[in-house]
Chains A and B, each alone.
Chain A
Amino acid sequence: DGGITQSPKYLFRKEGQNVTLSCEQNLNHDAMYWYRQDPGQGLRLIYYSQIVNDFQKGDIAEGYSVSREKKESFPLTVTSAQKNPTAFYLCASRSPGLAGDTQYFGPGTRLTVL
């Protein structure tokens, strides 16, 4: 089945630790995105990548880092510099061609800082 997978589903981190969230897609999409969701809020863009080896900051990139070494993979690292990292993190990829503005989402990772 084609789709977007995120792992793990739940993640716990101690303060001061870096943690990496995985996002993989087998849809052959070029563009991928990371969003953060807080309770009662819409989604906010952290980083996006339109092509391998290239990525851009979104609205709330501080305290996060990404890499895009393969088309299928777009991992997000939440660093110790992120002041309030507890949130639900969603990865998305965007279809090319005529439906090129439609993003499809993974199931999400819930990160809790203890």
Chain B
Amino acid sequence: GNSVTQMEGPVTLSEEAFLTINCTYTATGYPSLFWYVQYPGEGLQLLLKATKADDKGSNKGFEATYRKETTSFHLEKGSVQVSDSAVYFCALSASGAGSYQLTFGKGTKLSVIP
């Protein structure tokens, strides 16, 4: 079956530090890959996505590249801010039977301190 593994947190960084959150996946076929962000007490917001190999998704300074050869989709940001403190989820979408079910990693909590 499909699965997503992402680095366990929590991750604590100082403001303006470089961020990497690792994500690897197992899937049949050619899934789409996503990063979602969840702020305390809220639902998930789509951060970025990539639909095929070598695609780079980007948004709000965050980037992730779909690497089929290493089955990875690592999230990066060059300079984090306090407002980036949240839980980040890596996910894949499988189109089996047209359902496009999302399979999620367990989430990585990021805390950015001033």
Contact = CB atoms under 8 A, between A and B. Distances in A.
Nearest to A106: B43
A97 B75 CA distance: 26
Given A101-B32, A101-B51, A108 B99 contact: no
Interface residues of B, number: 25
Contacts of A31: 99-100
B25 interface: no
B4 interface: yes
Given A40-B107, A41-B106, A107-B43, A102 B34 contact: yes
Nearest to B44: A105
A108 B101 CA distance: 18
B93 interface: yes
Interface string A10-54: 000000000000000000000101010000111111001010000
Interface in B41-88: 41-46, 49, 51
Contacts, number: 62
A103 B104 contact: no
B98 interface: yes
Most chain B beta-carbon neighbours within 10 Å: one of A35, A42, A48, A56: A42
A40 B99 contact: no
Contact of A107 (B32, B42, B49, B91): B42
B42 A48 contact: no
B67 to A, nearest CB: 19
Contacts of A94: 100
A51 to B, nearest CB: 10
Contact of B101 (A6, A40, A58, A104): A58
A107 B43 CA distance: 4
Contact of B104 (A42, A56, A107): A42
Given A43-B102, A107-B43, 17 more contacts: A4-B43, A40-B106, A40-B107, A41-B106, A42-B89, A43-B44, A45-B102, A90-B43, A92-B102, A94-B100, A101-B51, A104-B46, A105-B36, A105-B44, A105-B45, A107-B42, A108-B42
